[in-house]
Structure 1
Amino acid sequence: MPAVHRNSRPVLRPVLLALIAAISLGACQTRQSQLAQDDESAWYIGAKADKPFDIPLVDTNRLDPKYRRQTVAYTGLEPAGTIVVDIDQRQLFLVQEGGTALRYGVGVGKQGFSWKGEARVGRKGVWPDWSPTPTMVSLNPDLPRTRKGGLDNPLGARALYLYQGNRDILFRIHGTNEPWSIGEQMSSGCVRMLNEDIADLYERVPVNARVVVKRGGKPRTI
């Protein structure tokens, strides 16, 4: 099990402040949040060993209890191994055997940007690089064409890339360096999780895992 450094506080404040002040990077980026006015460094309580960067650990006492990782009863019809994202509740479920699920809090797309439907995990990434879509570039030609993975990258520590068939639909389940956005409807479409939570989910689900994203109580088949 990776070592947890309880007494070390990652030096995140400068990069987080720079990120919040930066121009929006696109589909997985947020608008500036009023919640970010709080002292960013107060959100962090240490780091968990990881490569090539340690994963910043969040003080989850700052979150509403319903957004903290926990095992819950699950009555849905999806089989074990399915990822179910409830946009309305801002929660992600990994269905388990025996009528339970692991539940995580998530941040979702702001009004008009939240995707829903069925997909699969087409690939997975560790501290992934970020790149804008062609649409983003057409709207903002000055966007950087790539951003290397790291603490100041909007995709965070891990990413699950959603596909339909062999087509990357450009929506992700990924980490975030804005933990205050969990439970909020802020992003431009992607589903974001605490870095420690997406790292946990990443280890539990394989490529080709089924993903169901619900809004208004049900998914829309595309």
Structure 2
Amino acid sequence: MAGSGAAAMTLAGCATQNRAEIKPVVQSMPENPEAALLYAAKPDEQFPLPAIPYQKVPARFHRQMVVDPTGEAPGTLVVDTGGHFLYYTYPGGQAMRYGVGLGRAGFAWAGRGVIQYKRKWPRWTPPDEMIGRQPELAKYGSDMGGMPPGLDNPLGARALYIFQNGEDTLYRVHGSPEWWSIGKSVSSGCVRMINQDVVDLFDRVPNKTPILVTDLSARPAVVDEIVASPE
């Protein structure tokens, strides 16, 4: 199992465009003590995570417990591509909601799968087709051992590996240092999260968790409401 997992890790195709192309001008929001705690620095990580300037991330994309709009069974991950949200469903009609960044048109993956396994601070190796599009990534090819983990690694602090019908889809739910890309479609297909959020999700989600990637806007509208967090 470990061998097959390591092999699959080398295939992850998540990356972004040039950072200068995607970093927008953002307007700071009011101070929020709860958000300040959620997105504080994490000095105890293998690679200490800096604090996120949460005031520059729209509040709707902050981690929060909401009424579950997905209709899925508790213990399911749902990526809403229309809203740029990820939900982890709980009993009682609740869900933890996170803001996410998604793939550009033509690279997005959708459907049902499972989180086959998870990794802390993973290595990243672009597949050959990605290197063909972006030759500058050749230095991280499989023959070079990939990019080591760290704050600049495209997979961030954690990665959850999506399989479908027993096969690696090459798509991941993963962290990213590019907090400004949350709520946008800029990556090569993967589901990108603020590093503090993916650390939180990693601890909630076991291996074999079902995942659905879909556009919830095609379903009857449900108004999100913030609710109390479960124990």
Could you state the TM-score of these two structures normalised by the residue count of structure 1? 0.78
Query: How many Å separate the matches in 1 of 2:196 and 2:108?
Result: 23
The answer to which structure has the higher helix fraction is 2
Query: Structure 1, residues 96-152: CA drift from partner, whole Å, max 9, x if none?
Result: 110110000000011222111011001111011001113224445651220000011
Which residue of 68, 82, 94 maps to 1:74?
68
Query: Structure 1, residues 176-197: CA drift from partner, whole Å, max 9, x if none?
Result: 0111000111111101000000
Structure with more contact order per residue of length (Cα contacts < 8 Å, sep ≥ 6): 2
Query: Is the Cα–Cα contact under 8 Å of residues 107 and 191 in structure 1 kept in the other structure?
Result: yes
Q: Is 2:173 aligned against 1:187?
A: no
Relative to structure 1, the CA distance from residue 106 to residue 140 in structure 2 (aligned partners, 3 Å threshold; closer, same or farther) is closer
Please state how far the C-alpha of 1:64 moved relative to its aligned partner: 0.9
Please state how far the C-alpha of 1:46 moved relative to its aligned partner: 5.4
Query: How many Å separate the matches in 2 of 1:217 and 1:128?
Result: 33
Unaligned segments of structure 2, at least 5 residues: 1-11, 27-35, 220-231
What secondary structure does 2:130 align onto?
helix
The equivalent of 2:167 in structure 1 is 167
Relative to structure 1, the CA distance from residue 173 to residue 218 in structure 2 (aligned partners, 3 Å threshold; closer, same or farther) is farther
Q: Is 2:23 aligned against 1:36?
A: yes
What secondary structure does 1:47 align onto?
coil
Query: How many Å separate the matches in 2 of 1:37 and 1:106?
Result: 16
Aligned counterparts, 1:30-109, within 5 A: 30-32=16-18, 33-34=20-21, 36=23, 47-109=41-103
RMSD over equivalenced CA pairs, Å: 2.4
Could you state the TM-score of these two structures normalised by the residue count of structure 2? 0.75
Relative to structure 1, the CA distance from residue 139 to residue 88 in structure 2 (aligned partners, 3 Å threshold; closer, same or farther) is same
Query: Is the Cα–Cα contact under 8 Å of residues 67 and 106 in structure 1 kept in the other structure?
Result: yes
Letter in 2 for 1:165: N
Relative to structure 1, the CA distance from residue 216 to residue 206 in structure 2 (aligned partners, 3 Å threshold; closer, same or farther) is closer
Query: How many Å separate the matches in 2 of 1:96 and 1:138?
Result: 42
